[in-house]
Amino acid sequence: MHPIAERIQQLFPTGFVKAVEWRGDLAITVTRDSLHEVARFLRDDPAMDCDYLVHVSSVDWPDDEERFEVVYEVYSIRKRHRVRFKTRVPESDCEVDSLTDIWKGANFMEREVYDMMGIRFRNHPDLRRVLMPDEYNEGYPLRKDFPLRGKGWRDTFEFLNEAQS
Amino acid sequence: MAKLEDQRTTVYKVDPEHPESANLPTLRTEELLLNMGPQHPSTHGVLKVILELEGERIVKATPVMGFLHRGVEKLAEDGTYHQFIPHTDRLDYVCAMYNNFAYCRAVEKLMNITVPERAEYLRTIVAEVQRIIGHQFWLGTQALDIGAMTVFFYTFRDREILLDWFDELCGARLTTSWYRIGGVERNFTPSLLDKLRRFLDYFLPKIDEYVVFLEKNRIWIARTKGVAVISAEDALSFGLSGPTLRGSGVDYDLRKYESYGAYPRCEFSVPVGKNGDTYDRYWIRVEEMRESVKIIRQCLDQMAAEGPIMADVPSVTLPPKDRVFTNLESMIQQFKLFSQGFDAPPGEIYCGTEAHKGELGFYIVSTGGGKPYRLKIRAPSFIHMGAFDHMARGYMIADAVTIFGTYDIVMGECDR
């Protein structure tokens, strides 16, 4: 196993779930409760020193019990290593701790995840939609159950809809 | 007249011991909310910022984005990997080539494809040409926003030459789609090589010409030096990248840190600022143009005259166009790749590329099959906007324009 993953497993035996290394990328899955601690460790530990938050992303797995996956990717400018850590959240309670207090850039990136996937971030200073309109209430566009094609002008033609169905 | 004098002294006389006892007229001191954009010409597209002002000073700035949101990440889930290449043109529509490059690199990492050497050189050359175009565009518009009009004409005149060069290369000036997964679409012709060499000789002295307009210009200096300062620590914490980060003194450049393409075989330096202000970021971009010229020259000298321009992985890469029209197997291969796509292995990758705005990254999750399960674009413009409030506080309204400009923001990429 990758030394960074081993270190995290030792320090967070209950929080660590699994580590995957593929195509040179290291991805560590941790439990939701330990996400904030692991993130703080990754930034503050001198051996990790991940001072740069690359991106925050999310993946929807509708068939799984814990439906959503929140993905953080961090980089160390001095040590030049990259770590991806992620956690799973169920749909009924999709909320994770915000990492805004660790990396300031997490503010906008987490807002985007909230906007697109509907995952809420606890202790986030300004959790509003960022790309979709504020009053938009038709769901979260990047969820897999969100329709790929919207309703529009073409739907007013009945003969087109008949041909499709 | 005398009476008026009397009135003044009686009404406005303030006893320093008891200032509250003076009968001063009440002044309105509430904060002013100002909507800047989305139709403001210097917001580089459709960006709106709500400025909370105290007089002319910005107390708080709230960016409102999404006017150009087209759901590109959702569209990616509906098409094959090849079909997404033209969508990347429309992200940062000023510098389409670099988006193509970043995306193709990400898919190549996913598919574990090695690109032939000549293709790597071609890609690097075109990427650097695109970087020059991007910086010319930035320099012209930034100077225009601040009030220096002449530079705009000079940079756009030279940018036009390169856009015509792109036109000859791939038939499009802006939405190029020239990169392919595993290589490039079309080889350089002798005419293109000749034109590029001649352009470089012409262009290098022109950079000094642009700079003369600005560096000796008191207004430019006054409006860029010490404006929108961000410390290295904050810049890192906000996730800034590219010249915006390097202006604060961090030499983070993926061309050096995680070298790719033909960059490891070229010698070039990464300019780094120290004050973290708009002027340093300007200086970095000008220097990067000179470095780009250096890189292109080295690539042109090192590149072999002949060689494949596409990796030979028939299950993934497209066959050459001339074979498609004459050879049955190639035609079937082309048809299958475009109708079904190739079968990507399940897994996830992130691949970042140093575009001229910053780190443009693609995070792709694949569950097998021909379409990405999830494709996330790490757009530098969006992440830079996250630092806008922090950088704008305390400056004047007029500086807000400078700060949009200093990120080199393009809303197509910011809103996706």
For residue B365, which residues of chain A lie inside 8 Å, CB to CB?
Answer: 59
Q: By mean pLDDT, which of B25-34, B341-350, B404-413 is the weakest? A: B25-34
Q: Indicate if the pLDDT at residue B9 is higher than 50.
A: no
Whether domain B62-415 has CATH 3.40.50.1100: the reply is no
User: Does A103 contact chain B (CB < 8 Å)?
Assistant: yes
User: Does B390 contact chain A (CB < 8 Å)?
Assistant: yes
Give the count of beta carbons closer than 10 Å to the beta carbon of residue B59.
14
Mutate to test the interface with B, among A40, A68, A74, A112 (most CBs of B within 10 A): A112
pLDDT range class, residue B292, cuts 50, 70, 90: very high
In chain A, domain spans = 3-164
Distance from CA of B409 to the nearest CA of A (A): 16
User: Does A63 contact chain B (CB < 8 Å)?
Assistant: no
- Res B216: pLDDT: 83
pLDDT range class, residue B275, cuts 50, 70, 90: confident
Q: Indicate if the pLDDT at residue B75 is higher than 60.
A: yes
Q: Indicate if the pLDDT at residue B145 is higher than 70.
A: yes
Measured between alpha carbons, how far is B415 from A104 in angstroms, rounded to an integer? 20
Average pLDDT, integer, range A2-27 = 86
Measured between alpha carbons, how far is B150 from B160 in angstroms, rounded to an integer? 16
Sheet holding A82-89, edge to edge: A16-22, A25-30, A82-89, A68-75, A52-60
Q: By mean pLDDT, which of B33-42, B70-79, B237-246 is the weakest? A: B33-42
Interface confidence, given as ipTM, is 0.87
Mutate to test the interface with B, among A21, A26, A53, A54 (most CBs of B within 10 A): A54
pLDDT range class, residue B92, cuts 50, 70, 90: confident
Mutate to test the interface with B, among A61, A73, A75 (most CBs of B within 10 A): A75
Q: Indicate if the pLDDT at residue B276 is higher than 70.
A: yes
Average pLDDT, integer, range B90-94 = 86
For A101, the closest chain B residue by CA position comes to B237
Closest-CA residue to B145 (of B411, B401, B407, B410): B401
- Res A137: pLDDT: 82
Q: Indicate if the pLDDT at residue A163 is higher than 70.
A: no
Closest-CA residue to B374 (of A83, A85, A143, A74): A143
Q: By mean pLDDT, which of A135-139, B155-159, B187-191, B206-210 is the weakest? A: A135-139
Beta strands B359-366 and B374-378: pairing type? antiparallel
- Res B186: pLDDT: 84
Measured between alpha carbons, how far is B13 from B7 in angstroms, rounded to an integer? 10
- Secondary structure, 3-state, B107-152: HHHHHCCCCCHHHHHHHHHHHHHHHHHHHHHHHHHHHHHHCCCHHH
Whether residues B365 and A108 touch (CB distance < 8 A) is answered with: no
The mean pLDDT value of chain B amounts to: 85
Specify which residues B36 forms β-bridges with: B49
Whether residues B66 and A80 touch (CB distance < 8 A) is answered with: no
Q: Which of residues 129-168 of B touch A (CB under 8 A)?
A: none
Mutate to test the interface with B, among A18, A20, A22, A23 (most CBs of B within 10 A): A23
Q: Indicate if the pLDDT at residue B123 is higher than 60.
A: yes
Residue-wise burial string across A99-119, b where 16 or more C-beta atoms lie within 10 A, e elsewhere: bbebbbbbbbbbbbbbbbbbb
Q: Which residues contact B125 (CB under 8 A, 6 or more apart)?
A: B196, B296, B299, B300, B303
User: Does B69 contact chain A (CB < 8 Å)?
Assistant: yes
Q: By mean pLDDT, which of A70-79, A152-161, B76-85, B332-341 is the weakest? A: A152-161
pLDDT range class, residue B1, cuts 50, 70, 90: very low
Distance from CA of B344 to the nearest CA of A (A): 13
- Secondary structure, 3-state, chain A: CCHHHHHHHHHCCCCEEEEEEECCEEEEEECCCCHHHHHHHHHHCCCCCCCEEEEEEEEECCCCCCCEEEEEEEECCCCCCEEEEEEEECCCCCEEECCCCCCCCHHHHHHHHHHHHCCEEECCCCCCCCCCCCCCCCCCCCCCCCCCCCCCHHHHCHHHHHHHC
Q: By mean pLDDT, which of A111-115, B105-109, B362-366, B403-407 is the weakest? A: B403-407
Percent of chain A with pLDDT over 70: 93
Higher pLDDT, residue B286 or A161: B286
For residue A107, which residues of chain B lie inside 8 Å, CB to CB?
Answer: 386
pLDDT range class, residue B10, cuts 50, 70, 90: very low
For residue B359, which residues of chain A lie inside 8 Å, CB to CB?
Answer: 54
The mean pLDDT value of chain A amounts to: 85
> Tell me: the pLDDT tens digits for B14-55?
666 766 665 555 666 677 888 887 777 666 778 888 888 888
Q: Indicate if the pLDDT at residue B5 is higher than 80.
A: no
Closest-CA residue to B35 (of B5, B6, B64): B64
- Res B106: pLDDT: 92
Select, from the ranges B32-36, B46-50, B285-289, B402-406, the one with the highest average predicted confidence (pLDDT).
B285-289
The label of the residue with tokens 């499709």 reads A164
pLDDT range class, residue A131, cuts 50, 70, 90: confident
Contact between B29 and B40 (Cβ < 8 Å): no
User: Does B384 contact chain A (CB < 8 Å)?
Assistant: no
Measured between alpha carbons, how far is B377 from B72 in angstroms, rounded to an integer? 9
Q: What's A3-164's CATH class? A: alpha beta
- Res A72: pLDDT: 92
User: Does A60 contact chain B (CB < 8 Å)?
Assistant: yes
Average pLDDT, integer, range B3-12 = 48
- Res B173: pLDDT: 87
